Amino acid sequence: MVGRRRPGWLWVAAVGVYAFLYLPLAIVVILSFNDSLLNAEWVGFTTRWYVMLFEDRALLGAAANSLFIALVSATGATLLGTMAGLAMQRCRSGLLRGLPVLVFAPVAMPEILLGVSLLLFFRQVLDLTLGLLSILIAHVTFSIGFVAIVVRTSLAAMDESLFEAARDLGASAWQTFRHVTLPLIAPSVVAGFLMSFALSIDDFVITFFVAGVGVTTLPLQIYSMIKVAVSPEVNAVSTLLMALTLTLITVASRLAPAALRLRM
């Protein structure tokens, strides 16, 4: 398969990088079946760590929390982000010219800064008890930008004359939105939802700062497991999560191919 413009060494390098990407994770997967508490060497095959997982209430609870938080925050972020995307595309005058800065800054800044700012705000201004609400607000905040980017990109690629035609035919703003704009941007709204869902499920840094009593999320739970536990349960949960993301990505790539490319 070595083409004219594709020197062999390029593929050697590429395969090397793929190996770098996959070998460590392969080891995690293999050791999840290792019948040794310490995972220091291969002892024998077992599935008991997986059985243990399903009896680990703290972990299951964290997974349920994560799922719930992701669903709710992704819904919120999709609503607000879609609005922001529409607003950025449509209104480019006056005060709203500053909107893109407001939307993109949370995406661009190091996560820890958003985490500590929100912590300060919750504690000093709202005097909010850290917990479910603080996590939900934080997740919506960092996801809005991603949804807005996707929606705006798809709007920008559309033919403006469609909307004009609708208006010329006497459609109200709402009718134009409902029957022309919305169906057209629907795939990118779905992509935005999936993205914020994934971001929320995955977030560790910001959640670490704003989490409170009794609402441990999956990444937080994994973090404390990595720091303390000796058990290959961590490998088992990692393997399961990898399998799950693999499935989700496969499904998503069928449903909304745009989501994958835009994850960046």
Q: In angstroms, what is the minimal distance from the CB of 108 to another protein?
A: 7
* Spatial distance between the Cα atoms of 143 and 77, rounded to a whole number of angstroms: 6
Footprint of another protein on 211-250 (CB under 8 A): 211-214, 216, 218-219, 222-224, 226-230, 234-235, 238, 241-242, 245-246, 249
Among 46, 50, 130, 180, which residue sits at the site for another protein (rule: CB under 8 A)?
A: 130
Indicate whether 251 belongs to the interface with another protein (CB under 8 A).
Answer: no
* Spatial distance between the Cα atoms of 199 and 193, rounded to a whole number of angstroms: 10
Q: Cα torsion at 30, 34, 38, 43 (round to 10°)? A: -120
Indicate whether 50 belongs to the interface with another protein (CB under 8 A).
Answer: no
Among 116, 162, 165, 251, which residue sits at the site for another protein (rule: CB under 8 A)?
A: 116
Q: How many residues bind another protein (CB under 8 A)?
A: 123
CA 225, 227, 228, 232 torsion: positive or negative? positive
Q: Which residues make beta-bridge pairs with 45?
A: 34
* Spatial distance between the Cα atoms of 152 and 91, rounded to a whole number of angstroms: 12
Footprint of another protein on 71-110 (CB under 8 A): 71-72, 75, 79-81, 83-84, 86-87, 89-94, 96, 99, 102-103, 105-106, 108-110
Quick count: other Cβ atoms within 10 Å of Cβ 235? Answer: 20
Q: In angstroms, what is the minimal distance from the CB of 47 to another protein?
A: 18
